Amino acid sequence: MSLLAYEQALEQLLAGACPVQQVETLQSTEALGRVLAVSQVSSLAVPPLDNSSMDGYALRCTDVPTPGTKLRIAQRIPAGSIGHTLAAGTAARIFTGAPIPAGADAIVMQEMCSLESGEKNAAESRIIINHLPKPGDWIRRSGEDIQAGAEILCAGTRLSAPQLGLAASIGIAGLPVFRRLRVALFSTGNELVMPGEVAPADLPPGTIYNSNRFLLRGLLQQLGCQVTDLGIVPDDLAATRFALRGAAEAHDLILTSGGVSVGEEDHVKPAVQAEGDLALWKIALKPGKPLAFGYVRSQAQGQAAFIGLPGNPVSCFVTFLMLVRPFILKTQGAQTVTPSAIRLRADFDFPQPDARREYLRARRNQNGGLELFHNQSSGVLTSAVWADGLIDNPPGVAIRRGQEVSFLPFSELLY
């Protein structure tokens, strides 16, 4: 099987992603990170009334022909109160968020005014306006944020904190969201040992700690998945087939790491072929060439999607971000599934590119450019911690210091 280009692999994965249909309504406070199932429309204008954006004084501009004009303070309007019609030649003491009284057409900030008397709360005190106001100054108009009947959130939106706040601003306390994606996770490999089970000093020769289990579980949880951790499966075909059959019965996706290469102890590929269908294997990607995608048959639900990631930790990390993440987002019902790259200057030379598309671990420096981690090996997980994003480098393209490259910040990939 020849290597598949990244774009083709992503297209195949997304074509095979079946969005979940079940919807549940959650309190808005519990909906962070979930995908909205039904568009939300505002039943009111925000703000509902013209209001002041500053602490200051509401007045009529025609009453202030020149700076230094004095006006009598006729009323006081705190937020949450409604004032009465402003009489000509008077001003209203007003606070941020308070409705504009009828007759007023501008606000003058309190810093631009001074009281004639020294007593700020004295009745019948007068205010000196040290600024020439214009109609509309410091007034927030009704509906300038949201118009009544406007769609504020569309279906397929992943709900972030600002979006939850926006929903609350129009009185929405509960939001319809797609149910969580059920993901079964396991690692394969006789060499794997769990942290906590064996002390570093007692680690048997040839064994390593299972970092991928923690890495993938964290990435899945960040995407809002409901994760079933099935632990470590030994390098054995029968054991791998048994794990796949059990996982397929109650999960939408089975995600594994390790065992997808071509060695005699790599049993994931034949196990998937025996228990279902393998649609994709081997991608022209560095790091991360061995990646399996297919389906495992299920008596309960027909089939569960399967994605097998490589065992090297950086390969596992990169292939998850670039392929598994979009697949999961689409399956969750999200409309936007691929990240947005930015163009930044390379402050390094990279003279020996690979024939495959490469994702290089890099980070921004104080000069606005990118630095490259010194070791781009697929086994060096330190590079993923040091970096704050990935350089998306086309096949066979050398990078010269000073040229612009395509950069994918982790802020786009880890949310």
- Residue 336 inside a domain? The answer is no
**pLDDT above 90 for 394:** yes
Angle between helix 237-248 and 268-275 (nearest 10): 50
pLDDT of residue 301: 82
Q: Which domain holds residue 255?
A: 6-21+180-331
Q: Check whether residue 280 and residue 270 sit in a common domain.
A: yes
- Residue 104 inside a domain? The answer is yes
CB 284, CB 4: distance < 8 Å: yes
pLDDT band at 3 (very low <50, low <70, confident <90, very high): confident
pLDDT of residue 272: 93
- Residue 1 inside a domain? The answer is no
Among 120-124, 331-335, 352-356, whose mean pLDDT is lowest?
120-124
Helix (H, G, I), strand (E, B) or coil at 26: strand
Write down which residue in 110, 140, 170 finishes a domain.
140
Q: Check whether residue 40 and residue 63 sit in a common domain.
A: no
**pLDDT above 80 for 2:** no
Collect all residues with Cβ–Cβ distance below 8 Å to 311 and sequence separation of at least 6.
Answer: 187, 188, 189, 212, 257, 258, 259, 260, 261
Token pair for residue 214? 């923690």
Q: Check whether residue 107 and residue 162 sit in a common domain.
A: no
pLDDT band at 258 (very low <50, low <70, confident <90, very high): confident
What does the pLDDT average to over 76-99? 96
What does the pLDDT average to over 190-219? 92
What does the pLDDT average to over 128-143? 97
Q: Check whether residue 184 and residue 325 sit in a common domain.
A: yes
CB 52, CB 144: distance < 8 Å: no
- Residue 27 inside a domain? The answer is no
Write down which residue in 266, 297, 331 finishes a domain.
331
What does the pLDDT average to over 213-228? 96
Percentage of residues in the chain having pLDDT higher than 70: 96
Write down which residue in 112, 140, 168 finishes a domain.
140
Q: Taking the model in full, what pTM does it have?
A: 0.89
Rounded CA gap, 267 and 108, in Å? 75
CB 384, CB 321: distance < 8 Å: no
Q: Check whether residue 40 and residue 61 sit in a common domain.
A: no
What does the pLDDT average to over 382-403? 97
Q: Check whether residue 102 and residue 193 sit in a common domain.
A: no
**pLDDT above 90 for 16:** yes
Number of domains in the chain: 4
- Residue 29 inside a domain? The answer is no
Q: Check whether residue 255 and residue 315 sit in a common domain.
A: yes
Collect all residues with Cβ–Cβ distance below 8 Å to 121 and sequence separation of at least 6.
Answer: none
What does the pLDDT average to over 181-198? 91
Collect all residues with Cβ–Cβ distance below 8 Å to 126 and sequence separation of at least 6.
Answer: 70, 71, 72, 73, 115, 116, 117
What does the pLDDT average to over 236-265? 86
Q: Check whether residue 362 and residue 237 sit in a common domain.
A: no
Q: Check whether residue 383 and residue 266 sit in a common domain.
A: no
**pLDDT above 60 for 328:** yes
pLDDT of residue 264: 55
Rounded CA gap, 189 and 266, in Å? 9
pLDDT digits 0-9 by tens, 42-55? 999 999 999 999 99
Looking up residue 355, the CATH number of its domain turns out to be 2.40.340.10
- Residue 193 inside a domain? The answer is yes
**pLDDT above 90 for 31:** yes
What does the pLDDT average to over 134-155? 97
**pLDDT above 60 for 210:** yes
pLDDT of residue 122: 45
Q: Check whether residue 301 and residue 165 sit in a common domain.
A: no
pLDDT of residue 133: 97
pLDDT digits 0-9 by tens, 112-133? 999 986 555 544 689 999 999 9
What does the pLDDT average to over 138-157? 97
Looking up residue 234, the CATH number of its domain turns out to be 3.40.980.10
**pLDDT above 70 for 279:** yes
Q: Check whether residue 173 and residue 184 sit in a common domain.
A: no
Tokens 């964290």 locate to 218
- Residue 202 inside a domain? The answer is yes
Looking up residue 117, the CATH number of its domain turns out to be 2.170.190.11
For every residue of 220-285, DSSP letters joined together read HHHTT-EEEEEEEE-S-HHHHHHHHHHHHTS-SEEEEES--SSSTT--HHHHHHHHEEEEEE-BSE
Q: Check whether residue 189 and residue 171 sit in a common domain.
A: no
Looking up residue 166, the CATH number of its domain turns out to be 3.90.105
pLDDT digits 0-9 by tens, 72-87? 999 999 999 999 999 9
- Residue 28 inside a domain? The answer is no
